Amino acid sequence: MPRLFTGLELPQSVRMRLSLMRMPLPGARWVEPEDFHITLRFAGDIDNRIADEFASFLDDIEVVPFDISISGVGFFGGRTPRVIWAGVEGGEALANLQRAHERAARRAGLEPDSQTFRPHVTLARLKGTRPDAVARFLSSRGGLRSEAFRVERFALFSAKPGSGGGPYVVEHAYQLGGEAASFRGKVGT
């Protein structure tokens, strides 16, 4: 059963800039720069038939290329911080692309995503990190802003079996406009 999600890859220059955000932070497990991405739709551990249908329905998505940028940092988890992230500004074009991914997932038989879409790049996963340490990190790195970059494709990724973490593999890439850029075979094979 593959663990799948769809997302946007980041240019090398943006990945490098995000990797420079790292600093000593107790309990932080920093994401490797090659694994930075913007998740559009998490599918999870799904059987091969549903994975193939999902991949097929993603082929039907037609969206014109658009620009996005990285802006600001934050965290998820409230009083128990779990994730440090970099924000993403993509406007209505990014929201439309994400909704198209949700529709493709539903057509393939996946349950509706219960999470509100908050575009971000996960920088670190946290375990036992004190809120005051996270606050210091955010105040020292809060002015993050990248140049806008063009989104010309999205990808169907697989995660490492078991942990769900990286390294992530692009199973199928789709040029915006609906034309598949590459396909390595049936998903999960």
Provide the annotated active-site residues: 37, 120
* DSSP class of 147: P
Q: What angle do CA 100, 3, 113 make, to 5 degrees?
A: 40
Helices (H) and strands (E) in the chain, counts: 4, 10
Q: Give CA–CA dist 137/74, Å, rounded.
A: 9
* Phi and psi torsions of 163, nearest 5°: -85, -25
